[in-house]
Structure 1
């Protein structure tokens, strides 16, 4: 096994109303976040041969993310029209093509997937195949990041999320994702259901209220970091990359992967790191996760 991280999912361009463009897509944002935090990361996506594709490739190259085989294709790059309201909250309208070969994730330390890439066919089947063949000892993680307009019916999505939760050690979602998946259930009930399918570390972000996690039967609730919000684009992705970084940093990923118990202080350290990563990102425009030195400095400051 190597230290290599494999991320599987969409890479697209967020076209913000008003003319700004930012490389985006939840899995791509997480790949960039992990690479900026010092982890060797490969992205398996679908990037077209156009100006938007050039923008994405430059962004990935600057972060140090490598591209998996078959990621560069002819044709157009997927886009998301982003609309930001007065509170900085973003909504999206997608134009996406998601058809990829199943990546080879054998020997990776961590394989992450999520959002449209994990839930939209035909590519979702390739993602499922990659996770199923990753092998023992590889940490498998999921962020559903629900996009209702482009991922199929609720019943189809519920089945896919349940199937992936049964494979993955870590599942992160937002309170909005939880409300869409189970409108009549509490957030605690949604997390407990995902844990019942097999995920050991299940966490929900709650915006300004922080996060709630269920880890091996124990509940954890941490407040959000105080911050002046520029916009929320990439906030959940920065939380996820910060969370995975902390698990890798502290060796907690090995405990999860091999079925060993997690110390409570390790869980709290991972959640604190994730919340700090998200706070740094929402303080500036676009999906712009922190680098390692910036995150470390913010963590030190929060403990003083």
Structure 2
């Protein structure tokens, strides 16, 4: 995983909570809790907020790669206000200039996303790394647009498009697509991204569910029926469980680029249903708190007795 790690400062009424987060950090935590080796390249400081991040990542089993915690760098934060329906709106204080040093041939999958994939100056390093690892690993990309930080819309669209073209699997929300391409239907954007080379485009629609677009067609799945506490980290958990599902099916890595492109719709349905189930656990509790493997196994057993 290559991307931001930050502290979500969550405000509910008169209360304020400091919760570790950041899109790619959340994906790393979710994958580690699912029993996968998860290595994270990020950038955060040696301050108090950095201590909170460090403890959270280590406790969850994430391998924080060398150079991610840096002296003299402040830890980024996101001020999150929770609405009555559990949705979160953010005000960011983010800096992103990571020291990315990874061996391209060591990883089965490389995940990028959100602020780290678009925000300069670090985005340029992310793009160079993706170009280097794309031949030896599966590249997954979660757009996770943050208009307050993505700058000019047209420039953001150009950056996102270049990353889509370099990725094997792309995930975005319907809100991401509405901001990037406000006059274009979701299926039209997905078709364009498939033409750029992606094996699949997964579009989430909050509690409604998700759609998977592939060269073989489209499949839709329902969202998990849960009581929503907040939506922080839901999309990141979906991404992690999607990766885990593909991993379990032996579909990641340099030898499987074409297998991904030929994957049948029923298999994509299973992956998306699994990802939606995992995201449902996250929204049922405060903050970015993704499920452990045993929790998902229990829920799957209840659904499939």
TM > 0.5: yes
Map 1:107-118 to 2 at 5 A.
107=105, 108-118=107-117
2:65 corresponds in structure 1 to 68
Q: 1:82 aligns with which of 54, 57, 80?
A: 80
1:254 deviates by 4.7
Quick check: 1:15 aligned with 2:9?
A: yes
Contact 1:120 1:150 in 2 (8 A): yes
* Cα distance in 2 between the residues matched to 1:254 and 1:264: 20
Contact 1:34 1:242 in 2 (8 A): yes
1:283 corresponds in structure 2 to 284
* Cα distance in 2 between the residues matched to 1:243 and 1:156: 28
1:50 corresponds in structure 2 to 47
Quick check: 1:34 aligned with 2:31?
A: yes
Q: Output the TM-score relative to the length of structure 1.
A: 0.95
1:255 deviates by 8.7
* Cα distance in 1 between the residues matched to 2:208 and 2:25: 26
SS at match of 1:133: helix
1:175 corresponds in structure 2 to 174
RMSD: 1.3
Is the deviation greater in 212-221 or in 79-88? 212-221
1:216 corresponds in structure 2 to 215
Map 1:250-289 to 2 at 5 A.
250-254=249-253, 257-260=256-259, 261-289=262-290
1:133 deviates by 0.5
SS at match of 2:69: coil
1:136 deviates by 2.1
1:104 corresponds in structure 2 to 102
SS at match of 2:104: coil
1:209 deviates by 1.2
* Cα distance in 1 between the residues matched to 2:83 and 2:134: 43
SS at match of 2:252: helix
Q: Output the TM-score relative to the length of structure 2.
A: 0.95
1:216 deviates by 2.6
* Structure 2 unaligned spans of 5+: none
Contact 1:255 1:262 in 2 (8 A): no
* Cα distance in 1 between the residues matched to 2:225 and 2:139: 31
* Cα distance in 2 between the residues matched to 1:272 and 1:103: 35
1:76 deviates by 1.5
- Count how many residue pairs are aligned between Structure 1 and Structure 2: 298
Contact 1:105 1:111 in 2 (8 A): no
